[in-house]
C-alpha cells in the first residue's frame, strides 16, 4: 500500500473543526476526518520540533535520554526501512531544522528530497533587500528573536502571490511528485510542512477572514514567554494563526484532490498530524517557552495533538485511548508490510484503525529534555519537576555530545550500562509541579497537586514503571525523586 504522512508544525487540534472548533475554516481536514480514524487523545512524546520528529522517525522516546539532536549512527529509522525493502520514498519539506547543525541528517535515507527554502530563520538569502516591516528597533524584540527579523524579511521579500509562500510550495511540489510517481508500487511520501508555525504572515485574503478590521501594530512573530500583548494584539495574533491554519487546510485539500484524481485513494493510507501546539495567552504564556524564560509546563494546548489516519477499507471512527506520535513508526511499518523492530517504544495503531482496538497504555509520558516529566492517563495530567532549584545531575545519552542550544558538557564522556553519557549543565529555571483533572478542567486552571495525594501517587508509580519499561537509566528517576 502507498503511504502519505503529512506533518504540520504547530498545528493545534482545537483550531480544527473536526475537533470542535466553530470559527476557523478547515473544510478539507473536516472532510478527510469524516472518512478516517480520528484519535481524541493523541499526545506528543519528545518536545519540541526535532525531538518530536525523532520519535516519529524511530518509534523511540527521546526526551528521557537526550534533547534536540541528529539521528544516531546505525539507528533504525523509517526511511531506511523503506529503502531496505527496495521501495520508493520521498521527503518534501520546508522545515529548515532538518538541515541545521546539530540535527541535520533526518533526510539522509530518503530516496528523494525536495527542500523549499525561506521559512522563518532559514539561512538562505543574503540580498540587501529593505526591511519591509516599519517597526522601530526597540519594538522588534516583540516580533522576533534578535537577528532573525532581517533574515526573515530577506527570505520573504519575493512573496507576491499565495503560490509563492513556502507552505503552498510544499503541497504544490507534493502534487507534482504524485503526478510523476503514481506508478511506483507501495511508495512512501513524507510531507513535513513548517506551516502553520510562526511567523504568522499569511496572504491578505486569509488575514481578512479573521482580522479585517484590526488597526493596531502588525504583530506577526511574538517572542516566547510571558504574554505582554494587549488583548487586541493577542486577538490579532490568533487571527493570523487561524489564517495560516485555513491556508494549510486549503493546500492539504489540493493534495487530497490529486490523490482522488489519480485514482490512488483506495490504495493509499494518509496520516495527518503535528509535532505540538502553540500557546496564545493561555496560562499567561505565548509560544513554546522553556523554563529559563517562563513557565514551561506542557499544557494541553501544547501537548495534545491532532492525529487523523485514513486507511482504505477501514470504517470511519473516533477513538479515545492514549496514543502518541512515536506510535506512527510501527504503524507505518505494518501498513507497508515491513518488520517492526523489537527495540521501539511505540505501538502500532493499525488494530485501532481496522478494529477500534487502541493500544493498551496506562499513561503517556512526554516532555522537554532536562525539564519536567509530564504524565497523563487521559483523565489526569501531572507535571513533575525535580525538587529544589537544580535540575542536575543531568546526563546526555548519545554517541556524540550536544551541539544544539546552550547545553554545556561539564565532564568527560562516561560509559554506563545504558551507553555513553555526557554530564551536562544548562541555564534553566524551575517551573512548579502541578496536577490537573483534565476530564473536568481541560483548561488546567485548578492545580490539585497538594489536594489529591492518591492520584499523585498512582501517576508517579505508573510513570516510574513506564520509564523502566523503555529502558531509561535509573538516574533519570532519581533526579525526579521517583
Q: Please give the C-alpha separations between residue 407 and each of 357, 395, 402, 421, 428, in angstroms, as whole numbers.
A: 41, 11, 7, 14, 10
- Which residue(s) pair with 37 in the sheet? 309, 317
What local confidence, expressed as pLDDT, does residue 420 receive?
Answer: 84
Residue 274 has pLDDT above 50, yes or no: yes
Using alpha carbons, select from 377, 305, 300, 335 the residue that is nearest to residue 188: 335
User: Taking 50 as the threshold, does the pLDDT of residue 138 lie above it?
Assistant: no
What torsion, rounded to 10 degrees, do the Cα atoms 473, 437, 361, 268 define? -110
Q: Convert the pLDDT of each residue in 157-179 to its tens digit.
A: 888 899 999 999 999 999 999 99
The answer on pLDDT for 245 being more than 60 is: yes
Q: Where does the pLDDT of residue 153 fall: very low under 50, low under 70, confident under 90, or very high at 90 and above?
A: confident
Please give the order of strands across the beta sheet that includes 380-384.
46-47, 364-368, 373-376, 380-384, 434-437
pLDDT above 90 (res 141): no
Would you tell me the crossing angle of helices 27-34 and 231-261 to the nearest 10 degrees? 50
DSSP state of 29: H
| Model pTM above 0.85 | yes
Kindly tell me if the per-residue pLDDT of 55 is higher than 90. Answer: yes
* Digit-coded pLDDT (tens) for 321-352: 999 999 999 999 999 999 999 989 999 999 99
Coil, strand or helix at 12: coil
- CATH domain 364-479 topology: Arylsulfatase, C-terminal domain (3.30.1120)
Q: Supply the pLDDT for residue 51.
A: 97
% of the chain residues with pLDDT over 70? 94
Q: Please, is 339 exposed, middle or buried when counting C-beta atoms within 10 Å of its C-beta (0-12, 13-18, 19+)?
A: exposed
DSSP string, 394-430: EEEESSS---SSS-EE-S--EEETTEEEEEEE-----
What lies within 8 Å, CB to CB, of 213 at 6+ separation is: none
| Architecture field, domain 2-355 | 3-Layer(aba) Sandwich (3.40)
Q: What is the pLDDT of residue 133?
A: 52
**Alpha carbon of 440 to those of 11, 354, 379, 380: distances in Å?**
24, 30, 8, 9
* CA 426 – CA 137 distance, rounded (Å): 30
Cβ pair 422, 392 in contact under 8 A: no
Question: Quick one: pLDDT at residue 404?
Answer: 76
pLDDT value of position 82: 98
- In this predicted structure, the answer to whether residue 475 has a pLDDT above a threshold of 70 is yes
CA dist list (Å): 366 to 46, 292, 303:
6, 19, 8
Q: Look at residues 243, 223, 247 and name the one whose alpha carbon lies nearest to residue 235.
A: 243
Letter string b/e over residues 422-449, b meaning 16 or more CB atoms within 10 A of that residue's CB? bbbbbebebbebbbbebeeeeebeeebb
Cis previous bond, 196, omega within 30: yes
- How many Å apart are CA 374 and CA 57, to the nearest integer? 22
Helix (H) or strand (E) holding 373: strand 373-376
> SS3 of 320, please?
coil
Domain borders along the chain are 2-355, 364-479
Average pLDDT over residues 427-453: 93
How much is the average pLDDT of 283-312?
Answer: 96
Is residue 218 pLDDT above 90, yes or no?
no
Q: Do the two domains 2-355 and 364-479 of this chain adopt the same fold?
A: no
Cβ-count burial of 147 within 10 angstroms (0-12 exposed, 13-18 middle, 19+ buried)?
A: exposed
Amino acid at each position: 500500500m502507498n503511504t502519505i504522512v503529512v506533518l504540520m508544525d504547530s498545528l493545534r487540534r482545537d483550531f480544527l473543526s473536526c475537533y470542535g472548533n466553530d470559527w476557523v475554516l478547515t473544510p478539507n481536514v473536516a472532510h478527510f476526518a469524516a472518512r478516517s480514524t480520528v484519535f481524541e487523545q493523541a499526545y506528543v512524546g519528545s518536545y519540541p520540533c526535532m525531538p518530536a520528529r525523532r520519535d516519529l522517525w524511530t518509534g523511540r522516546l527521546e526526551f528521557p535520554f537526550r534533547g534536540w539532536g541528529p539521528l544516531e549512527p546505525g539507528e533504525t529509522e523509517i526511511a531506511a526501512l523503506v529503502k531496505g525493502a527496495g521501495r520508493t520514498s520521498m521527503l518534501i519539506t520546508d522545515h529548515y531544522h532538518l538541515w541545521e547543525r546539530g540535527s541535520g541528517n533526518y533526510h539522509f535515507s530518503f530516496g528523494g528530497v525536495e527542500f523549499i527554502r525561506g521559512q522563518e530563520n532559514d539561512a538562505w538569502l543574503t540580498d540587501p533587500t529593505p526591511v519591509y516591516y516599519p517597526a522601530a528597533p526597540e519594538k522588534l524584540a516583540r516580533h522576533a528573536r534578535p537577528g532573525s527579523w532581517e533574515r526573515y524579511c530577506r527570505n520573504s521579500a519575493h512573496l507576491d502571490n499565495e503560490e509563492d509562500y513556502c507552505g503552498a510550495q510544499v503541497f504544490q511540489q507534493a502534487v507534482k511528485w504524485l503526478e510523476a510517481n503514481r506508478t511506483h508500487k507501495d511508495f512512501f511520501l513524507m510531507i513535513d510542512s513548517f506551516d502553520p508555525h510562526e511567523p504568522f504572515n499569511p496572504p491578505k485574503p486569509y488575514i481578512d477572514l479573521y482580522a479585517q478590521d484590526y488597526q493596531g501594530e502588525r504583530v506577526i512573530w511574538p517572542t516566547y514567554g510571558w504574554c505582554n500583548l494587549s488583548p487586541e494584539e493577542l486577538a490579532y495574533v490568533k487571527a493570523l494563526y487561524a489564517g495560516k491554519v485555513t491556508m494549510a487546510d486549503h493546500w492539504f485539500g489540493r493534495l487530497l484532490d490529486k490523490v482522488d484524481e489519480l485514482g490512488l485513494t483506495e490504495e493509499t493510507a494518509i496520516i495527518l498530524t503535528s509535532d505540538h501546539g502553540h500557546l496564545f495567552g493561555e496560562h499567561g504564556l505565548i509560544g513554546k517557552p522553556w523554563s529559563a524564560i517562563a513557565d514551561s509546563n506542557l499544557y494541553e494546548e501544547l501537548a495534545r495533538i491532532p492525529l487523523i489516519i485514513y486507511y482504505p477499507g477501514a470504517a470511519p471512527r473516533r477513538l479515545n485511548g492514549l496514543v502518541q506520535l512515536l506510535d506512527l513508526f510501527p504503524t507505518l511499518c505494518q501498513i507497508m508490510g515491513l518488520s517492526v523492530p523489537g527495540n521501539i517504544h511505540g505501538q502500532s495503531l493499525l488494530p485501532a484503525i481496522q478494529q477500534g482496538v487502541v493500544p493498551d497504555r496506562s499513561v503517556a509520558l512526554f516532555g522537554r529534555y532536562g525539564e519536567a516529566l509530564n504524565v497523563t492517563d487521559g483523565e489526569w495530567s501531572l507535571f513533575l519537576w525535580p525538587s529544589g532549584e537544580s535540575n542536575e545531575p543531568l546526563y546526555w545519552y548519545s554517541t556524540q555530545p550536544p551541539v544544539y542550544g546552550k547545553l554545556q558538557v561539564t565532564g568527560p564522556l562516561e560509559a554506563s550500562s545504558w551507553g555513553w553519557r555526557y554530564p551536562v549543565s544548562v541555564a534553566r529555571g524551575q517551573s512548579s509541579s502541578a496536577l490537573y483533572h483534565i476530564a473536568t478542567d481541560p483548561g488546567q486552571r485548578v492545580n490539585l497537586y497538594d489536594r489529591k495525594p492518591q492520584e499523585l501517587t498512582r501517576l508517579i508509580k505508573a510513570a516510574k514503571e513506564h520509564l523502566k519499561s523503555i529502558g531509561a537509566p535509573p538516574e533519570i528517576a532519581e533526579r525526579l525523586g521517583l
